[in-house]
Amino acid sequence: MDAFTGAIQARALTKRFGDIVAVNNLDLDLPAGRIYGLLGPNGSGKTTLIRLLVGLAKASSGEARVLGVKMPDRENLAHIGYMTQADGIYIELSVWENLRFFAALSGTGDKKGMDEVLDLVHLTSRKNAPALELSGGMRRRLSLACALVHKPSVLFLDEPTVGIDPALRVEFWKYFRALAAAGTTIVVSSHVMDEADRCDELLLMFHGKVLARGSGAEIRQQAGVDNMEDAFLKLGGGDSEDTGAAA
């Protein structure tokens, strides 16, 4: 692999599930300190790509690097945050115990940092409550706090704002922007088109490939339309993916 020193790199990255090609021969070079939006229909390969980059799924062929390190790599996980699409928290543990658990996984656990992320997601008053007692949106908020608690330099967020109320959603995006300004690289998947324009760069995925890449304005220009929904439909077709057609 060439000497790209950006945050995220993929070379001919491919993941097959039987006949389905979930990620299809993908090449990516993503410089650090930017917010990348991963857009694409259901089944287009967003979560699979994220799992390959985090090292939780094994590539069928090709390779992925994060911070120059070939994934999977256990030690590199100390620098990576991952908020899964399904909540990855432990409902029998309290809010605080969840945070402590995720902090400990990466060898951190400073109380101040834990308090900070708890405050960010507005769960300080629920610190001692079992996660089981949280509402759906609160569980998403706790998942985000757990992904952030070790101050990762590369952050993967799989539909982080699903179920989050509008006011907090705006606050999350402000925080993501502040993290990027401080050098954090963020990959965020979303189906919410008004969030797309908050990203520095969009990657439009269809059938396991990135079919268009650029800022929101560039993508709209490429599609010859003036809003993201139309651009998305025009560039990739509107239907959710028929899994068998991905090859």
Residues in touch with ligand ATP (CB under 6 A): 17, 20, 22, 40, 42-48, 85, 243
Closest CB 115 distance from ligand ATP, rounded Å? 32
If the CB atoms of residues 42 and 135 are measured against ligand ATP, the closer one turns out to be 42
If the CB atoms of residues 47 and 161 are measured against Mg ion, the closer one turns out to be 47
Contact 208, 22 (CB under 8 A): yes
Instruction: Give dist(CA 18, CA 14) in Å, integer.
Output: 12
Near Mg ion in 27-46, by CB under 5 A:
46
Q: Residue 185, interface with Mg ion (CB under 5 A)?
A: no
Amino acid 73 reads D
Q: Residue 47, interface with Mg ion (CB under 5 A)?
A: yes
Report the residue count for the chain: 247
Which of ligand ATP, Mg ion, none does 17 bind, CB closer than 5 to 8 A by kind?
Answer: ligand ATP
Amino acid 162 reads V
Instruction: Give dist(CA 194, CA 213) in Å, integer.
Output: 17
If the CB atoms of residues 76 and 84 are measured against Mg ion, the closer one turns out to be 84
Neighbours of 63 (CB within 10 A): 15
Burial state string for 64-90 with b = 16 or more CB within 10 A and e = fewer than 16: bbbbeeebbeeebbebbbbbbbebbbb
If the CB atoms of residues 46 and 151 are measured against ligand ATP, the closer one turns out to be 46
Closest CB 134 distance from ligand ATP, rounded Å? 22
If the CB atoms of residues 153 and 189 are measured against Mg ion, the closer one turns out to be 189
Closest CB 46 distance from ligand ATP, rounded Å? 4
Q: Residue 84, interface with Mg ion (CB under 5 A)?
A: no
* Peptide bond connecting 31 to the previous residue in cis, omega within 30 degrees of 0: no
Positions touching Mg ion (CB under 5 A) are 46-47, 85
